Structure 1
């Protein structure tokens, strides 16, 4: 069977019952694919006979190999970056399609797919307008890492982390959809709580849109100011000379877009826990690793930013990296030169 036999809602998030029994299928899948191809059998039949978690994970491994080969050939290591905004939605759609083919109610997965599609459209648009899909475009951080470690170590880093681990991660953050699929066998209809989770997810996507748009507006104004030496309407010269955005959501969080991004996948995981009436489950692996990844990548981003902008350390002291710390950023007043009176100068000379 492609799905486990479960007798209680809580079993839907039990690793030993829903994941472990299907691990051998992962090793057998390449041979089954080859047999299906040689025998010219239906790939749809193989798809529905294979556990959806196994087939999704296998696809992430396949993509990892593609990312590695293409990145080494092109010497461009942003291959995963170009698919970051697309693949989680592909995986949630995979669980949704599988459920429909298997005759399992998909209302919860429809809700998950709805917010994920909107998330993908927003993030893909933002990545595209920054030039992420331009030929030769690459995340500037990979170049910095490449310059600071030996070549052989970077190639190993590309093989393991950049290509395979990131590809698997994009599957794992969407993997909480699997417990949602299993729980639909017991509770087929959307509850008020389910709809609340969808609204929460859409709200987080909306906050990402606001924060990214605020940053885009600021960077556009700064570029215009640097080109024309004229301060665009709505901004001050001091604000643009500072070099980084500190208004809107950015006055309360140094990375409000990153905070929302992590929250989106943590909320999906919490939704799966609610749907299966458990406090925690194996599905936390993906969102937890995503949080760790953001900690490392944000640290590197801020290290670079603080080296470019002198005022960034003051911004860091007042504003939390992800979670707001206080009432928002207040720029330190410019230092005034000390005025020395003539009488004081005369006293110093007498001494």
Structure 2
């Protein structure tokens, strides 16, 4: 099938980042009339898929997921449905752009690399969430329970509709929108060939993913030791009673900043966005809104988490004074020993 039907006609790399040329002309495909032939079986799935702009297809999927998690959460009163899907949806979106490019015979080297990386990202997050108790993104149950107690029922239903179900699903689609830019660039004969910059960015993503995994592992080891100590009263090897009575980890990467895993997570999606900028030789493009919104979400989420933590552990406020939230600061020079000395 010709690629001109579902994709915009772009003549230069700068065109691929022009919202008015690459998105606006296809917004009409968001209508019910466009999806109705698919739902009624009048049009085969493959035909509908190849005749729909891939960004719009991703938007349709995000809206469908919004409806599914909204209904599910209100039925079982568990509002962490999106959190359970958090580790899967970005990879599904990136895989979708890669599949579309393959089906249209486009150059997919960058998209293949991005898909492979996102798959590793998903495996790591899913493993942590299901096998390690969720000491990472997605462990939100207790937070929503606290929020529920602080606002009226109708207010929480509105929060569920607008933010928990809709905005979060849209956000997960937005952070993968740079893959759409890669797809559009691959339609141009003037698209830059795979270069050292691509190698550097792809390897940097792997490095940051390793840092994120290492930070989560340190958190898991500490929490496991604390759980064993609270159950048996025996201090596990490698820890002191003071370490575990404190209630939170301050060693390793956690001495550099209070949330090294979240720092790495934000860097990952900022790099994914920057990759699309470098390919198109521009300083910024509209897909950066996803990365910015993602960082804003972390600010709000961590603020609530730290309020809860500070209420549980009396020493946490001192830790907050000594060690920065996301960006390593002077607290990293003293770390755990400095914290204990000052205490």
TM-score of the aligned structures, taking structure 1 as reference length? 0.91
Q: What does residue range 129-208 of structure 1 map to in structure 2 within 5 Å?
A: 129-131=131-133, 139-186=141-188, 187=191, 189-208=193-212
CA distance in 1, matches of 2:39, 2:117: 35
> What is the aligned partner in structure 1 of residue 284 from structure 2?
280
Structure 1 residues 314 and 37, CA gap change in structure 2 (3 angstroms): closer
Larger Rg: 1
Q: How big is the shift at 1:35?
A: 2.1
Q: Are the equivalent residues in 2 in contact too, given 1:107–1:189 (CA < 8 A)? A: no
Q: Are the equivalent residues in 1 in contact too, given 2:88–2:122 (CA < 8 A)? A: yes
Structure 1 residues 328 and 262, CA gap change in structure 2 (3 angstroms): farther
Q: Which runs of 5+ in 2 are unaligned?
A: none
CA distance in 2, matches of 1:300, 1:315: 16
Structure 1 residues 81 and 37, CA gap change in structure 2 (3 angstroms): closer
Report SS of the residue matched to 1:333: helix
Q: Deviations over 1:188-226 (max 9, x none)?
A: 742211121111111111111100000000000111111
Q: What does residue range 19-168 of structure 1 map to in structure 2 within 5 Å?
A: 19-27=23-31, 30-38=32-40, 40-131=42-133, 139-168=141-170
Q: Are the equivalent residues in 1 in contact too, given 2:323–2:329 (CA < 8 A)? A: yes
Q: Are the equivalent residues in 2 in contact too, given 1:252–1:325 (CA < 8 A)? A: yes
Q: How big is the shift at 1:301?
A: 0.3
| One of 227, 247, 256 as aligned partner of 2:260 | 256
Q: Are the equivalent residues in 2 in contact too, given 1:111–1:195 (CA < 8 A)? A: no
Q: How big is the shift at 1:130?
A: 3.8
CA distance in 2, matches of 1:293, 1:183: 29
| One of 245, 252, 257 as aligned partner of 2:249 | 245
The Cα RMSD (Å) is 1.5
Q: How big is the shift at 1:272?
A: 0.6
Q: How big is the shift at 1:14?
A: 1.1
> What is the aligned partner in structure 2 of residue 10 from structure 1?
14
Q: Which runs of 5+ in 1 are unaligned?
A: 336-351
Q: Deviations over 1:32-65 (max 9, x none)?
A: 3332454543210110111000110111011101
> What is the aligned partner in structure 2 of residue 341 from structure 1?
none
Q: Are the equivalent residues in 1 in contact too, given 2:192–2:279 (CA < 8 A)? A: no
Q: How big is the shift at 1:276?
A: 0.9
Alignment coverage as a number of residue pairs: 329
CA distance in 1, matches of 2:193, 2:149: 54
CA distance in 1, matches of 2:264, 2:296: 15
- Runs of 4 or more off by more than 3 Å in structure 1? 36-41, 332-335
> What is the aligned partner in structure 2 of residue 229 from structure 1?
233
CA distance in 1, matches of 2:41, 2:187: 33
